[in-house]
Each structure stands twice: as structure tokens, then as C-alpha cells.
Amino acid sequence: MTMPFANLPPILGQALAARGYAEPTPVQAAVLEPGAVGRDLVVSAQTGSGKTVAFGMAMATELLRADGTAEASAGPLALVIAPTRELALQVSRELVWLYGQAGVRVATCVGGMDPSKERRALRELPQIVVGTPGRLRDHLERGALDLAALRTIVLDEADEMLDMGFREDLEQILDATPDGRRTLLFSATMPAAITRLAQRYQRDALRISTVGDDRGHGDITYQAVTVSPAEIEHAVVNLLRFHEAETAMLFCATRENVRHLHATLRERGFAVVALSGEHSQSERNQALQALRDRRARVCVATDVAARGIDLPTLSLVIHVEIPRDAEVLQHRSGRTGRAGKKGTAVLIVPYPRRKRVESMLRGARIQAEWIDPPTLEAIRHNDRQRLLAALLEPAEFDDEDRALAARLMAERSAEDIAAALVRAHRAMMPQAEEITENTPAAQQADRQERHRAGFEDVVWFRLDIGRRQNADPRWILPLLCRRGHITRNEIGAIRISANETHFQIPRASADKFAAALSRTAGAEDGGDVTIERAPDTPREAARENRKAAGPARVHSAGPRGAGAGAGPRGPDSRPRPAGPGGPPRKAWPKKPHRKGPKGDRPA
Ligand code: AMP
């Protein structure tokens, strides 16, 4: 018989066996190789590869005596730093079961928790401390964390931590550790900044890469579902109903969209929670707990809020809004298909975005199956199979159940009772949606719909703000409504070039619009922006300014909520510029800002 976990103290082998883990994952096998023992390591491994247990195993030589019991400590022997609270708590949970039997104590120090409780836990001299960079640095500066006895430091998801602006905190912590310590660097990607960190803080590090082995292509099936932009939410509902995954994670691009989709799904009867930067730590903990104990089965999240989350029952990821790039696509999808389990990642692709998604998938070398959203009939078929399986499952009934069954049998036929049972089960399932068939004709109709009625005869107006001044339809639209006393529905195409923006107003409303503009010029609320009838069409203007302007970006202003890739956004949820009347030039930075180093708080 082969040793399932060679080179591992038996007490840890027992903990793994008790969890039902029969053999090491590739990254675990790599850190257990005799050549890796005691050395500094740079490991590229994705979440889901079993990397937490891998660094847990790697630290064993520094934490356990020969007889498998815990080394006594005058201060932490091992420190693990992770980018977010969730990840740190998750790491801590894994190390607790791995080292519990051996008597190793674990303390967790994360932003958003009570620091005085953490200080008490640190005074009890745990052998392992797990935390987020900002909070660990705070404890260090206040003298609550003494790293003089440290033997191993682990930087988990090091690339994320650098990305999130934690470099200084990490360096301060690393500088406070003894020279002879081991440094284990775990990172999904290896950008230059990671290499620099490794050069500065590691000695003769062994590089381990299992990314090719566990990237998840084998475990995650990718599907791309093309839909009309107006039917994104219906597609989400049907995908959830078709798969009926034990746990599903849905990704949106912004917190507004998370909020909206969460409300929509709850209204339809899904057991759903939301995770985004607008939730407090205790709300986030409650949401995750509800998913773990199965009170909730669907989680709607932003990319950052869901980073690193490990839910073993998660078998379906839906990219409700297209990820920003291939890396985000893989991070999101990697919430499923973990540790050898199978998962499905579905991209919802509005027709006009198909080319972009195809090229993103090609770039990431992901083969996706292009399909239509599940139909009502397909969902009904699956429901029937699931109902039969659930109702025919062997069951034990107690006397009370049997007595009630006898009374029912006296009143009704067995067939009626069975039908009532089926109906009761069905009533608990949220309704699926009718979705327009995905034919070329439907796509054409959709394109026509986007060339909206009422905009056949238009007048072009212009604004003296363009791409260089951060022009964005999200604040331009409310500004035009305020200044021109019109509704969003009366604004047609918007074309943003380098230094100006053109937009269409139906000829019938143009005079009324121009009159309101002159009355509101100079008003406090955006009155400093020049808006006027354009002397030329955007194309003519571009020709004039070819050198200055660069290529124009085209935005379709409507129909509302149905813009390409707009995602599940209601008609009134279009974001506004910060603060009433705030200068629009500053209102919409192109990229959302990352939280500063002290925050420890995902957006
Ligand atoms: P991670 O990559 O650390 O996020 O781990 C992903 C999941 O894999 C966690 O739920 C681990 O408990 C689980 N896991 C770790 N090691 C093994 C193993 N050898 N066999 C099966 N599952 C494992």
C-alpha cells in the first residue's frame, strides 16, 4: 500500500484522514517533497488547489516536535498573512482542524474585529497567528505582537496583497521577523513586484508551480450563454432554476448591481444573500454563515468581496456581468471546481459583447460551450427528474406521520395525495422565465430596438467636456436632464471624443431643450458646463479635429437598463455624480479606487 501523505507527521495525516482527504493535491505533494523541506518557497497556486493545507503542511517542521506534539512558544512560531478578512478566517479554520489534535493554538487578527479580544488571544502565546496586513501591523506597532521567536512566515495571495496596496505593511512586518525565518510566498500570478519581494526577503527559494496542473480546466466546465441585453435577469433566473446548484455564486461589476440583483432574486423566492463593500463585517459573516449552513443557496457578489471565498458546496458560478479581463474571469470561476470537485462557470453574454468575450476566452485558453439560456421546457424536465428523485428517496416515517397518512388515505386516493405532494414541492420553486428564442431574427429585432423609436429625426448638441475630462454617460445623463428639463428617454446616442461630447435630442424636443439650457446656464448645479447646439455632427467634428480627438467611443443611451452589458440595472439606479451639483469633471473616476492599505476591507 502506498503512503497517502508521505513525509508528514502522523498526527497531521490523521487530521487529513478524518476530513476524508485521501491523497495530497499537486501543490501539497510538491511542498512535501524532501527537497522542499525547510526551504523558502515561491509557490504559484490558485485558490482551490489545496494551497492552505499545503502551507499548513510545510510549516510542520517548525511547529511540531518529533513526537508530534506542539512546540512550546514564547511568541508566535508561524505567521500567515492574507489579503482579506474572509480569506484570513478561512485559513485560520483550515489550520485549526489540521493542527487541533497536535495542540497547536491559532489566533486570528483581522480588520473589522475587536482588537482587544485579539490582544488577549495573542497574550495566550498561540503558535500560529493568521491575519490581514493592516491589522497585524497595528498589533506590531502597539507591541501586542512580538515576532522575535518567529520561524516561518507565509504570504498568502501575495499578488493580491501587493495589488491592494499592502506592500509597506508587508515589508514592515517582514522587517520585524528574525533573519533565520523561513519565508513561504504563495501567489496566483508572478508579476515583477512579487519577484522583487522574493529577492529581497527570501534565501535560495525553491520555485513550485502547479498552476498548469490545477488551473481548473479539468474541473470547471465553461459555458457562454448569449442573450438579449434586456433579458439578462431572466437568463439568470433560468440558469439558477435549471442547475438548482447546492450553492451558486453570481458576479456583478458594481455594488449597485449586486444590490439590485439580490433584491430581484429575493422577491422571486430564491434563498439569496449579497456580498459587497457596502455590507458591514457582521453582515458579511452572517451571509457566509447562511451559505455554509444552507439557509441560503445563492450569493450575489462583487469581485473583491468574493475573493478567496471557499464554499465546498459551490458548484455554479454565473458571470452576470462580463468580467473585466481574463484574470478576473478565472478568479471568479475559481470559486467553484475546487479540490477535485466539478463546477460550472457560465458567462452571460449580451449579443453585442460576443466578440469581446470570445477573445477573452481565447486569451485565457478556455474552451467554452456557447449555448442558449435554458428554456422553460428544459427546466420543467429537470424539475420532474429532481422531484422524482427527492420523493422516491428511501425515508423513515414516525408514528405521527403514519397516522396522518392513514387519515389522508381514508379521504383521498393515493394518486391525489401524491399529486398534492408534488404540487406542494413545486410551489416552493421560484418561477422560471419565458426567454425570447435566440434566432438571428430576434437579434436583429434587438438591434432595432436599440435604435430607438423617436430618434429617426434628431438634432445634435454638444458639451465642452470629453474623454480627457472624464466624460461618462452615467453623470452626463442626469446633468442633461437637470439642465435641459428633459427625461433620459429623450436623449439619444451619446458620442464622447477627446475634448467634447455630442448627443442627440429628437427634433421635436430640441427647441424646448435649448431654451431650458439657456435658462439654467450659470446655475449652481452643473451650470458651468457649456451645452449648445452642435455646429456639426460628431463625424464632421472628428474630421476637423482628427489630430486632437483620437477615435470616438460610442454609447447608446437607451433603451434604459438595456445597454450592452448594462447588467441588471433598474431604470433609476443609474449612478449619479458624487454630491448634488458636484462638478461633473471629478464625479466619475475611470477606475474604482482600491482601498488603502489600512482598510483591510474589500469593496
Ligand atoms: P484552498 O486552495 O486552500 O482554498 O483549498 C480548497 C479546498 O480544498 C478546501 O476546502 C480544503 O479543505 C480542500 N482540500 C485541501 N486539501 C485537500 C486534499 N488533499 N483533498 C481534498 N480536498 C482538500
Mean pLDDT across the chain, nearest whole number?
83
3-class SS string, 496-533: ECCCCEEEEEEHHHHHHHHHHHHHHCCCCCCCCCCEEE
Q: With a 6 A CB cut-off, is 86 part of the ligand 1 pocket?
A: no
Overall pTM > 0.75 = no
Domain positions in the chain are: 10-209, 220-378, 458-556
Most confident of 444-448, 469-473, 540-544: 469-473
What are residue 455's phi and psi, to 5 degrees?
A: -115, 25
Over the stretch 5-38, which tens digit does the pLDDT of each residue have? Answer: 888 999 999 999 999 888 898 899 999 988 899 9
**pLDDT value of residue 405:** 93
Residue 554 neighbours by CB distance under 10 Å: 10
Average pLDDT over residues 373-402: 89
Q: Tell me if 417 sits within 8 A of 408, measured CB to CB.
A: yes
* Per-residue pLDDT tens over the stretch 415-426: 999 999 999 988
Helix (H, G, I), strand (E, B) or coil at 119: helix
Choosing among 1.10.645.10, 2.40.30.10, 3.30.70.330, 3.40.50.150, the CATH entry for 458-556 is 3.30.70.330
pLDDT in tens, 318-363: 999 999 888 788 888 888 887 667 899 999 998 878 888 999 898 8
Give 32 Cα–ligand 1 centroid separation in angstroms: 15
Angle at 310 between CA 361 and CA 154, to 5 degrees: 95
Bridge-partner residues for 153, per DSSP?
A: 79, 183
Q: How far is the CA of 90 from the centre of ligand 1 (A)?
A: 11
| 257 pocket-lining for ligand 1 (C-beta < 6 Å) | no
- 222 and 361 in contact (C-beta within 8 Å)? yes
Q: Which CATH number fits domain 10-209: 3.30.470.20, 3.40.50.300, 3.40.50.720, 3.40.640.10?
A: 3.40.50.300
pLDDT, one tens digit per residue, over 530-553 is: 899 988 877 777 776 664 544 444
pLDDT at 576 over 60: no
- Per cent of the chain over pLDDT 90 is 43
Confidence grade of residue 451 (pLDDT, cut at 50, 70, 90): low
CA of 314 to the centre of ligand 1 (A): 13
The finding on whether 47 has its CB within 6 A of some atom of ligand 1 is yes
How far apart are the CA of 48 and the centre of ligand 1, in A? 6
Cα 273 to averaged position of ligand 1 atoms, centre (Å): 24
Give the mean pLDDT of 258-270. 91
- Tracing cell 497567528 back to the chain, one arrives at 129
Please indicate whether residue 289 or residue 395 has the higher confidence score (pLDDT): 289
The pick from 31, 154, 186, 338 for probing ligand 1's pocket by mutation, whose C-beta has the most ligand atoms within 8 angstroms, reads 338
50 lines ligand 1 (CB under 6 A): yes
The sign of the torsion formed by the CA atoms of 349, 354, 359, 361 equals positive
* Residue-level pLDDT at 122: 95
The 10 Å CB-count burial string (b at 16+, else e) for 389-420 is: eeeeeeeeeeeeeeeeeeeeeeeeeeeeeeee
Is the pLDDT at 499 greater than 80? The verdict is: yes
Question: Distance between CA 6 and CA 19 in Å, rounded?
Answer: 17
Q: How far apart are CA 400 and CA 387, in angstroms?
A: 24
Of 10-19, 140-149, 301-310, where does mean pLDDT reach its minimum?
A: 301-310
Atom of ligand 1 minimally distant from the CA of 23 = 19
Same fold yes or no, 10-209 and 458-556: no
Ligand 1 atom closest to the Cα of residue 48 is 2
Confidence category of residue 129, pLDDT binned at 50, 70, 90: very high
Ligand 1 within 6 A of CB of 4:
no
Closest CA to 434 of 371, 382, 379, 352: 379
Residue 24 beta carbon below 6 angstroms from any ligand 1 atom: yes
Name the residue among 358, 499, 351, 316 with its Cα closest to residue 436: 351
pLDDT at residue 520, rounded to an integer: 86
Whether residue 310 has its Cβ less than 6 Å from ligand 1:
yes
Cell of 85: 478578512
Q: Is 382 helix (H, G, I), strand (E, B) or coil?
A: helix
Query: What is the three-class DSSP state of 208?
Result: strand
Residues near 398 by beta carbon (within 8 Å), at least 6 away in sequence: none
Q: Whose CA is nearest to atom 9 of ligand 1?
A: 50
Task: Return the ligand 1 atom nearest residue 91 CA.
Answer: 3
Q: Helix %, strand %, coil % for the chain, to 5?
A: 40, 15, 40
Name the CATH topology of 220-378: Rossmann fold (3.40.50)
394 CB-side CA count, 13 A: 0
Q: Is the pLDDT of residue 388 over 60?
A: yes
| Alpha-carbon span 548 to 531, nearest angstrom | 20
